[in-house]
Amino acid sequence: MPQTHRPTNPAAEEILGGYFPVLDHGFVSLVDYMGSDEDVERAARVSYGYGTRKKSATRGLVRYLRRHRHTTPSEMVEFKFHCAMPMFVARQWIRHRTASVNEYSGRYSLMPLLFYTPDRGDFAHQSASNKQGREAGAADAALHDEAVARWGRGRKEAAETYEWLLGEDVAREIARIDLPLSTYTQWYWKIDLHNLLHFLTLRVDPHAQWEIRAFAEVMAGIVKRVAPLSYEAWVDYDLTGHPMSRGELMALSTLLEPRGEAGVGVKAGVDALDDEALREMGLSPREIREFSAKLTAPPAPDFELDLDRMRPAEEVGREMSAAVPDLES
């Protein structure tokens, strides 16, 4: 097999084509990638000579670009994923319109009859403060058991109806129409690094639905292997960093005194930032709460992949094929 002349990353090559399980029947696989941190630098400098720069120089430029929102160079790095997820997760996912997508089609392919069931710990009541979220604690175990039983009855009927319609030679595009949103679908999803990091910023956030967060966290671990310096800058500047509004900067200026290149000094005590003073600077009660949260340094998450969980494509393919209805039986 001829040796490639394109830049590769050994950490990425180690997981290429491997399948990482997500939820009960889902997965994420890096099918292919193009480029790494060095390609971000080369695009920014419009230079040549791959591998001639020091890693520290590449890191400095990658961090500068992300810090100052110069995103075009990171569009030169691309990822191609193979993913399987419940349909309701796919409908959230597809809102990110900056990727190329080819989804499994139930019009000419038989749907694997795999359905997502939340674990007991992820089954919760509606949040009282967030209309699109769930409470942090799990609901009563008996309620979860009853929900699973009801879901099971509905899914069994939907699956039997689907198989019956197929057996009667009804068109597949019609037979599929009553399969529930918990049914798993698949797609190939190709996206550049800039837009992938935007996707991850939104989808690993605690406010995102837990199910799509589970997929995003695996993908973040993949980014860490393909472009580790870009991953590091994303964590520092986007994921755990926060932009400041004019009012928030005004508030900070009451505490800190610029000292040129020597740094800053303390100008006033923190009690100068009471709620009344912040309101006078134009901050609403919600903005005050958010500003207070920004002043607390968050921990940096580590989306390291567990290679012990990586599965070969052939094994995943056999499981998916086994879930497809057998029209000959």
> What positions carry a catalytic annotation?
203
Query: Where do runs of H (alpha helix) occur along the chain?
Result: 10-15, 37-45, 55-67, 87-93, 141-167, 172-175, 193-203, 210-226, 228-234, 246-253, 275-280, 285-294, 313-322
Residue with tokens 């500003």, as numbered in its chain:
291
Q: How many CA atoms lie within 13 A of 194 on its CB side?
A: 14
Can you count the helices (H) and strands (E) in the chain?
13, 7
List b or e across 286-325, with b for residues whose CB sees 16 or more CB atoms inside 10 angstroms.
ebbeebeebeeeeeeeebebeeeebeeeeebeeebeeeeb
The amino acid sitting at 276 is E
Contact 70, 100 (CB under 8 A): no
**Cα radius of gyration (the chain):** 24
Helix (H, G, I), strand (E, B) or coil at 61: helix
Report strand pairing: 78-86 vs 26-34: antiparallel
Residues ≥6 apart with Cβ < 8 Å to 11: 225, 226, 228
Distance CA(165)–CA(63), nearest Å, equals: 56
Separation between Cα atoms, residue 272 and residue 266, nearest integer Å: 12
